Structure 1
Amino acid sequence: MSRDRLERHQVWWYLAALLVGLGLGSRWDDADRWVEPALWPLLALLLYATFTQLPLGSLGAAFADRRFLVTALAGNFVVVPALVAALLPLTPDDPMLRFGLVLVLVVPCTDWFITFAQLGRADAVRATAFAPVSLLVQLMLLPAYLWLLTDVDLGVVVPAREVWPAVLVVLVPLVLAVLTVRVGRGGAAGGPREAWVERLGWWPVPLLATVILAVATANVGAVRGSLDVLAVVGLVAGAYLALALGAARLLATLVRLPLEQGRTLAFTMGTRNSFIVLPLALALPAGWEIVPIVVVTQSLVELLAMIVYVWLVPQVVFADRPASA
């Protein structure tokens, strides 16, 4: 199997991992006791492999097209939080549910968004250049969004001493990934250093499938007791994807983005960065187990929706204009 084919069909791997995890957790009484400790190193490996594939050195290139950059930043960090704020009153008044939805919906994706943008005939160059900018901005703004959009006192629910492991699980892989890419570039073209970075590109899909399997296995009890909540998550995630697509079309029209850039905007506003926020979800105290399930459920709904996006964005929402006679 080629890497391209693996990424094209990744959604089915994740669904299979979810089903296997739920089945395994149902038969394994103390699964959470054994599986949860493995989640942190798995997440660290996943983030490390993913970050090595991000063009972290292309930050300068991202600023070359200021119109697209400003539009993408405004879409993701102004329009999207407003959409999330509008959706929250439509959900049950459950602080854990709303916290999970805000946590996963306000941060844009930086990895599979590029793959789906390419499949949807978007501007892959700008998608690639925007990814590292998006990552840095979301890491800075996420605490502010959680403070503004939820009624949860983060200082009480997640004391600083509990947050640091989650922060380190993101920052340490990021630093190691930057060093890995630098060392890889310092080697001979086609040499072992460069080949190592290339091989790491195979890791994100199987690692994310493993993380989903582990989360499902360890939290099967929370899933059973929250099926009604998960149905709400599915509906909200679907509504968000529809609203984000409409907002991207409107925003691209207002600033007169070229079609390919408009498609890129649609994919970056539609896809969310579920596994960046998963460490924080897992750091929450006992009683908040539903939050990681919300994050995983949203990501699965999104991945299924991307199958539709890949057709809908280039064929309907940002369709090529017919040539004039």
Structure 2
Amino acid sequence: MTINARTLAIVERPICRITSVCPPMRDIIERHQVWAYLIAVVLGLFVGWKTSPGEVGPDYMIWTLLGILLYTTFTQTPLTHLSEVFRDRQFMGALLTGNFVVMPAITALLVLALPDNDALKLGLLLVLLMPCTDWFVTFTHLGKGDSTRAVAATPVLLVAQLALLPLYLWLFLGSQFGVNLEFGRHLLPAFVGLIIVPLILAFLTHKWAEDSRKASRFIRLTGLMPVPLLTVILFIVSMTQASQIASTGGIVWILMILFPTYLLAAALVGKGLRQIFRLSPETGRTVVFSLGTRNSFVVLPLALSMPEAWAAAVVVIVVQSLVELFGMMFYLRWVPDRLLPNT
């Protein structure tokens, strides 16, 4: 069932209302967001190479900031109307087909380009087979996609990847893969901390705003926060991962070809699915951002928990996360302006 024009009007009205205050300030922030992200990444890499920042503090800081980032993004979404969006079968069909049929097939082809190293293959499979369930929502919002549909899609994406990832790993690696990844121990806390808790808090904030002008002003204020928060996160991630990238040698150059290739393929697949499923440009952008963003922050702890023999998998995930960050900067302009414009 597709969402008709009347339903879309009902769903979009709250988000238009809560994001229309302080437009000059918000417009300025979002107009210069790409430069802010680029400076954050470059500065973070420089600081990480010149110093040896501690790991425990920044790791906890990233998780905390990601949770706040998702909360501020969720507050800009009309959560009370998610049920209507969730029943959009065309959108869900495009999303699931792209993430769990088309892109895994493309990932299988990319694996063939890697050296004969099981750890490298595992790292690439782990990160490219896991659709993002956190900042995908933020990038969708910043890239003029449909953040309401993005929020509705996150639990579906998580359940599907939890169910299918072991099957994919068995198909692609077979008996060579003998490491216990302990999926539940890592993914369930990540999902609760980064998705469920911010989502519940944002929903309660919306309910509070129905009867409180103060809460409404607070929601409008949170609309200014996603870009600055994401800028800080990018700096910390780049800083803490710089040393690992510097120590990888020739592996990085192979990955620097494969991951941009994946991002280009994801965008083209998203555009094709948008035409096949007859989605609006805004909804099509949501599909593109979903196919392009991966769960690197969630799978990284999985890779770190494995024995030393599989350490190269960590390098793959680290490099992918940074390539994706640069790719999303490009996506934010290219997808709404060129790939899937409104006209």
Measure how far apart 1:184 and its partner are: 1.3
In structure 2, what is the equivalent of residue 72 of structure 1?
Answer: 95
In 2, distance between residues paired with 1:163 and 1:258? 36
In structure 1, what is the equivalent of residue 272 of structure 2?
Answer: 250
- What SS does the aligned partner of 2:250 have? helix
1:269 aligns with 2:291: yes
Measure how far apart 1:139 and its partner are: 4.9
- 1:37-52 aligned at under 5 Å gives the runs 37-52=56-71
Which deviates further from its counterpart, 282-291 or 299-308? Answer: 282-291
Task: Choose from 287, 310, 323 the match for 2:336.
Answer: 310
Measure how far apart 1:282 and its partner are: 4.8
Percentage of identical aligned residues: 31
TM-score, normalised to structure 2, is 0.72
- What SS does the aligned partner of 1:111 have? helix
Question: 8 Å contact 2:85–2:148 — kept in the other structure?
Answer: no
- Which residue type is aligned with residue 297 of structure 1? L
In structure 2, what is the equivalent of residue 293 of structure 1?
Answer: 318
In 1, distance between residues paired with 2:140 and 2:279? 18
In 1, distance between residues paired with 2:172 and 2:31? 34
- Closer, same or farther in 2 for the Cα pair 1:14/1:93, shift >3 Å? farther
In structure 1, what is the equivalent of residue 111 of structure 2?
Answer: 88
In structure 2, what is the equivalent of residue 323 of structure 1?
Answer: none
Question: 8 Å contact 1:46–1:203 — kept in the other structure?
Answer: no
Question: 8 Å contact 1:215–1:292 — kept in the other structure?
Answer: no
Q: How many residues of Structure 1 are paired with residues of Structure 2 in the alignment? A: 306
Question: 8 Å contact 1:230–1:297 — kept in the other structure?
Answer: no
In 2, distance between residues paired with 1:194 and 1:280? 39
Give CA-to-partner distance per residue, 1:195-244, whole Å, 9 cap, x none: 55555555544444444433443343322222532222221122112222
1:186 aligns with 2:207: yes
Question: 8 Å contact 2:69–2:229 — kept in the other structure?
Answer: no
TM-score, normalised to structure 1, is 0.75
Which deviates further from its counterpart, 135-144 or 18-27? Answer: 135-144
In structure 1, what is the equivalent of residue 196 of structure 2?
Answer: 175
In structure 2, what is the equivalent of residue 228 of structure 1?
Answer: 250
- Closer, same or farther in 2 for the Cα pair 1:70/1:165, shift >3 Å? closer
- Closer, same or farther in 2 for the Cα pair 1:164/1:268, shift >3 Å? closer
1:218 aligns with 2:237: no
Give CA-to-partner distance per residue, 1:160-185, whole Å, 9 cap, x none: 4x973564244234332133123313
In structure 2, what is the equivalent of residue 63 of structure 1?
Answer: 86
In structure 2, what is the equivalent of residue 23 of structure 1?
Answer: 46
Question: 8 Å contact 2:296–2:321 — kept in the other structure?
Answer: yes
In 2, distance between residues paired with 1:251 and 1:312? 16
Measure how far apart 1:42 and its partner are: 1.6
In 2, distance between residues paired with 1:263 and 1:272? 16
- What SS does the aligned partner of 1:2 have? helix
Measure how far apart 1:38 and its partner are: 1.3
Question: 8 Å contact 2:284–2:340 — kept in the other structure?
Answer: no
In 2, distance between residues paired with 1:80 and 1:182? 32
In structure 2, what is the equivalent of residue 12 of structure 1?
Answer: 35
**Unaligned residue ranges in structure 1 (runs of 5+):** 321-325
- Which residue type is aligned with residue 83 of structure 2? G
Which deviates further from its counterpart, 46-55 or 199-208? Answer: 199-208
- Closer, same or farther in 2 for the Cα pair 1:292/1:74, shift >3 Å? closer
Question: 8 Å contact 1:58–1:129 — kept in the other structure?
Answer: no
- 1:202-213 aligned at under 5 Å gives the runs 202-213=224-235
Measure how far apart 1:84 and its partner are: 0.9
1:239 aligns with 2:261: yes
Which deviates further from its counterpart, 13-22 or 69-78? Answer: 13-22
In 2, distance between residues paired with 1:24 and 1:18? 10
In 2, distance between residues paired with 1:91 and 1:265? 27
- Which residue type is aligned with residue 93 of structure 2? V
Measure how far apart 1:7 and its partner are: 4.3
In 2, distance between residues paired with 1:14 and 1:149? 35
- Closer, same or farther in 2 for the Cα pair 1:40/1:282, shift >3 Å? farther
